[in-house]
Amino acid sequence: MKKIFSNSIVYLFLIFFGIIMILPFIWMISTSLMSQAEFNKNESIFIPKEEYYVWDENGKEHRIILVQQKEENSIIHVLDENLQISKDYPEYMSVPSSQVRLIKKVPSFHWDNYITAFNKVPFARYFANTIFVSFLTLIGVLITSFLAAYAFARMEFKGRDIIFYLFLSMMMVPEPIYIISSYMLLDKFNWLDTYQALIVPWCVNIFTIFLFRQHFKSLPQELFDAAAIDGCSIFGMLWRIVLPLSKSVIATASVFSLIGSWNSFMWPLVMTDRPELRVLQVGLSYFSQEASTQTTLLMAASTFSILPILIIFFFAQKQIIASYAKAGLKD
């Protein structure tokens, strides 16, 4: 009995905080589906609803703006299809109040906010840029890490440990420390405002090297000995033995790399200026300045820009969370 009681308190607590954690997302989505007028009127907080008055002109309904309502007659503006004040009727019209009705629509979803936001600035281009940069970076990271980690884990050579610790020590230096000097350096290369500025510097990832090295060290030596006896070259060994055994660690590294590139902001913000080169996060930040009063469009844009990551996350959440947990403890 006591156990059931304490258990239900635990669940209540977890549900309460679960709601708090997820509330910003729920609100983001529900606001993204409202009309701007509705958000400004501040009437509905969560479920989009819409309210308007109509005038029933002998069976023909017009949307109207109610100016004044009295018991017998009401003063109205009649609206046309574009919700502008209609020119076919007098601007101020008096009609019997019995012909005026309030329409409440619950829910009314403005999916068109998504289309409007997506076309307002070239989001398609931003998505394409982000996907292009993320995937090339991923390929670069996997190749450089795979080769380096193999050497560190499976070969003996002069300076191996010193070089490895040099690598690790550079991992501790955060990006804001060297972003200014990197800018000046890329300027010297004439790389500012190019795709390579977004890709090449991130084609090496010390943490991935570290992750791969740990994995390669755990592979049994007999495997390599047998391959060597069969006359397999080192490269052949990598390709035919190590690679097939490293699927899970490659998947882990890919998730980190893709999420990292997708969300990276300060670097592309600083290194690019041309609108055609904007990645999603940078494009979104410019959009938030341009459309700062259009709350519902901002929410729609935020929603579709986190959607791809959230979809990947939901499909592979077990593996992704396990990867983060494992990687965290390895340090």
Partner 1 sequence: MKTKHKYEPYLYILPALVLLLLFRFIPILLSFVISFFDFGITSIGNFIGFQNYNKLFVDPEFWQSMMNTVWLVIIAVPLSIIIPLIFAVLLNQIKWLKGFFRTIYFMPYVTSLVAVSIVWKIIYAEEGGLANAFLQWLGFQPLKWLAEPKGIFTLLFNSMGVSIPSWLGGPSLALFSIIIMTVWKSLGYNTIIYLSGLQNISKVYYEAAEIDGANKWKQFFKITVPLISPTTFYVLLMTTITSFQTFAQVYMMTDKGGPLGTTKLIVYYIYEKGFDDLQMGYASAAALILFVVILGLTLMQRRLESKVNY
Please report, as residue ranges, which positions from 226 to 265 form the binding site for partner 1 (by CB under 8 A): 228, 234, 259, 262-263, 265
Paired with 100 in beta bridges are 55
Cα 110 to Cα 303: distance, rounded to the nearest angstrom: 14
- How many residues line the site for partner 1 (CB under 8 A)? 93
The single residue among 7, 69, 98, 218 that binds partner 1, judged by CB under 8 A, is 7
The single residue among 23, 37, 115, 243 that binds partner 1, judged by CB under 8 A, is 23
The single residue among 143, 226, 243, 251 that binds partner 1, judged by CB under 8 A, is 143
For partner 1, what does the binding mask look like between residues 147 and 186, x meaning CB under 8 A?
Answer: xx-xxx-xxxx--x--x--xx--x-xxxxxxxxxxxxxx-
In the complex, what is the shortest distance from the CB of residue 311 to partner 1, in angstroms, rounded to a whole number? 11
Residues contacting residue 10 through CB under 8 Å, at least 6 positions apart: none
Question: Max alpha carbon distance in the chain (Å)?
Answer: 102
Answer yes or no whether residue 111 interacts with partner 1 by CB under 8 A: no
**Of 200 and 245, which has the nearer Cβ to partner 1?**
200
For partner 1, what does the binding mask look like between residues 275 and 294, x meaning CB under 8 A?
Answer: -----xx--xx--x------
The single residue among 59, 71, 221, 230 that binds partner 1, judged by CB under 8 A, is 221
CB neighbour class for 174 (10 Å; exposed up to 12, middle 13-18, buried from 19): exposed
In the region spanning residues 30 to 69, those forming contacts with partner 1, defined by CB under 8 A, are: 31, 39-40, 42, 45
**Which residues in 43-78 are b (16+ Cβ under 10 Å) and which e?**
ebeeebebebbbbeeeeeebbbebeeeeeebbebbb
Cis before 107? omega within 30: yes
**Of 7 and 69, which has the nearer Cβ to partner 1?**
7
In the region spanning residues 190 to 219, those forming contacts with partner 1, defined by CB under 8 A, are: 200-201, 203-204, 206, 209
Q: Are 201 and 137 in contact (CB under 8 A)?
A: no
**With CB under 8 A as the contact rule, which of the stretches 54-62, 80-88, 94-102, 137-145 interacts with partner 1?**
137-145
Token pair listed for 61? 């309904």
Answer yes or no whether residue 305 interacts with partner 1 by CB under 8 A: yes
CB neighbour class for 277 (10 Å; exposed up to 12, middle 13-18, buried from 19): buried
